Structure 1
Amino acid sequence: MRLRYNTGRPIHANGRDLAALLQGLIGDSTSGVNQLAILGHSMGGLVARSAAHHGIQAGHAWTGRLERLVCIATPHHGSPLERIGHGIDRALGISRYSAPFARLGKIRSAGITDLRHGRIVDVPNDGTPVPTLLPSHTRCYNIAATLDSDPNSLRSRHVGDGLVPVPAALGLHPDPRRALTIAAGQRHVITETGHLEVLKSSEAAARIQAWLSD
């Protein structure tokens, strides 16, 4: 099943709707679906994680059948592109001459804004971060891409595939409370590949096939 969603909506709203959709389709024991694997690219990976979070919170039966989750070039800890846009908006707002341009820049969708910090749940009014780790019973895999030939280079760490830095796509974070616990064998970096090109990568396809058939 392929899912299309409105990228303009908040990620947590799309995640909640996906959770409800999956519950309606396969939540019943008569559905015949005993195992489920979800693959998500970019924001799609965040929506999938959000769906798992909301499904578990709601006690949905489908989450117990979610055996594998594969995230491809997903900004688990945010995208610098959105952060740069936010920073430009703030800088423009300093001057009364450039303030009108700042207001134009702020007309960005809620979904894109959520990419700033990889936010997959609704944040409380006081701005307190909500911990959203991976479902403990699900085998999770992350694929990152980088334009560089060296996955550990400065360019890979800060630019990555042009949109998502390698550490963010792998779920790595200096704060252990925010880092995603994924074994090294369940992470993979594809070099000399861009954010959209990874979807056509034979290396990515082979890696995913191996993970899903394991």
Structure 2
Amino acid sequence: MAASSTPSPLHRALGTLKRAALLPVRGAAQLYQSGRAHQHFFLPVLNGALGDQLAARHDARAIALSFRRGGHDVAVADLGLSEPHQKTVVFVHGLMGDELIWQTSFQDGPGGPLRYGPRLAAEAGVRVLYVRYNTGLHISENGRALHRLLTDLLLTYPDALGELVLVGHSMGGLVVRSAGYYASAAEKIRTQASAKKPKKTASSPATGPLESAPSWLAHLGSVFLLGVPHDGSYLEQNSLLVERLLKRINLFPTRFMSEAIARRSNGIKDLGQALLVDEDWQQPDDPALPRPRTVVPLLPGVRYHVLVGAWLRASLPRTVRDYFGDGLVGTASGQGELFGDETTLPPGTSVRTAHFGQQHHVGLLHHPEVYHYLRQWA
């Protein structure tokens, strides 16, 4: 009689023990592989939480705003842009992010499916550049730094830069708007100085490149704002309320927790009211009052695209869905009060708002419909 192919109870028990014994090893291997795939997030997360303190100590881990290529900072002079008058799309990440969020999948790591940046470069034939910055610094500090970087880009490659398109996610959209504010201020100062300057003669000294350079705003065509808290983040607003409440209770445990919350970075604190200008956070802090907030106007002649996610099911009450918005940014803040008032739009400025249902804050970075929207309008 042929031997039965069914394993004996002993063999089954040994096989189960073997699989159980190997589970920690396999789990550790998967954890290690996942850690390696996502290790690039360590510095951005650290900078988002404590980046202002790292920068104040001149810590080597503090990120400096820069263009990025191949996982490394790249100087503007080393970008090697040669194609003349090519449309250029610059991607600006959000809090605790980096340039890879525009390139590959969170789940699959750097080798995962391509995202908006590489796909636009391949399918639309545009030039794509990525910026990384210290998200723990004040939004206005990063806005001024982005303004200087784009100015340097135009000075270095005046013939290579065609139409400029800026794409910002979350805090990145606020940095983009802050950069536009400082570019407008610099342009105004340059215009006033030019009007007061006496007529140039042969003996007049030559002006410097920054003084005479045209503004990058002249190239700016479109701005895409994905999940941006234009009127502030409810999460940060709640954190501030908790911090102040615990401080008022004034017991040792509550003081300790209040001080721990208070150590969050300046960038995170700025998100509460979407502070885009230095003077706003330089004002003395009055716990009884919100900080005064400068309303930064939209730029003339720019096409704005405001992309808003909706995280909760449509069956839930509208007030609940609007409060939570995409999970991190409320619907009203994501739409932005300024963008909804057509009477205040500067000449030539347009605003188009698009809503994406059942889509959370991070999902806006890899949503097929969002990509098709970018592909159509960028």
Provide TM-score, normalisation by structure 1. 0.89
By how many angstroms is 1:70 displaced? 0.4
**Secondary structure of 2:134's match?**
coil
Aligned to 1:68: 222
Q: Tell me how far apart the structure 1 counterparts of residues 319 and 185 of structure 2 sit (CA, whole Å).
A: 38
Gaps of 5+ in 2: 1-128, 188-213, 285-290
Structure 1 counterpart of 2:301, one-letter code: H
- In the TM superposition, what whole-angstrom CA distance separates every residue of 1:147-184 from its partner, at most 9, and x where no partner exists? 124499222321001100112111136x969x888866
**Secondary structure of 1:18's match?**
helix
Aligned to 1:190: 356
Aligned to 1:16: 144
Identity value in percent: 27
Q: Tell me if structure 2 keeps the 8 A contact 1:172–1:180.
A: no
Aligned to 2:366: 200
Structure 2 counterpart of 1:91, one-letter code: L
1:152–1:44: structure 2 CA closer, same or farther, 3 Å change rule?
farther
Q: Tell me if structure 1 keeps the 8 A contact 2:308–2:334.
A: yes
- In the TM superposition, what whole-angstrom CA distance separates every residue of 1:50-99 from its partner, at most 9, and x where no partner exists? 11111111126101111100000000000000001001001101122112
**Secondary structure of 1:193's match?**
coil
* Structure of higher RCO (CA pairs closer than 8 Å, 6+ residues apart): 1
Aligned to 2:326: 161
Aligned to 1:172: 337
Q: Tell me how far apart the structure 2 counterparts of residues 208 and 135 of structure 1 sit (CA, whole Å).
A: 20
Greater Rg by CA = 2
Q: Tell me how far apart the structure 2 counterparts of residues 83 and 159 of structure 1 sit (CA, whole Å).
A: 13
Q: Tell me how far apart the structure 1 counterparts of residues 182 and 169 of structure 2 sit (CA, whole Å).
A: 19
Q: Tell me how far apart the structure 1 counterparts of residues 321 and 276 of structure 2 sit (CA, whole Å).
A: 24
Q: Tell me how far apart the structure 2 counterparts of residues 109 and 133 of structure 1 sit (CA, whole Å).
A: 26
After TM superposition, list the pairs within 5 Å mapping 1:138-157 onto structure 2. Answer: 138-150=302-314, 153-157=318-322
**Secondary structure of 1:37's match?**
strand
Structure 1 residue 32 corresponds to structure 2 residue 32: no
Aligned to 2:283: 125
**Secondary structure of 2:168's match?**
strand
Aligned to 2:243: 89
**What RMSD in Å do the two structures reach over aligned CA positions?**
2.6
1:171–1:51: structure 2 CA closer, same or farther, 3 Å change rule?
same
Q: Tell me how far apart the structure 1 counterparts of residues 321 and 155 of structure 2 sit (CA, whole Å).
A: 40
Runs of 4+ in structure 1 over 4 Å off: 179-184
How many residue pairs were aligned?
210
Q: Tell me how far apart the structure 2 counterparts of residues 45 and 37 of structure 1 sit (CA, whole Å).
A: 12
**Secondary structure of 2:224's match?**
strand
By how many angstroms is 1:36 displaced? 0.1
Q: Tell me if structure 1 keeps the 8 A contact 2:273–2:293.
A: no
Structure 2 counterpart of 1:6, one-letter code: N
Q: Tell me how far apart the structure 2 counterparts of residues 22 and 152 of structure 1 sit (CA, whole Å).
A: 44
Q: Tell me if structure 1 keeps the 8 A contact 2:232–2:274.
A: yes
By how many angstroms is 1:202 displaced? 0.5
Structure 2 counterpart of 1:12, one-letter code: S
- In the TM superposition, what whole-angstrom CA distance separates every residue of 1:85-121 from its partner, at most 9, and x where no partner exists? 0010011011221122211110010111110011111
Aligned to 1:45: 173
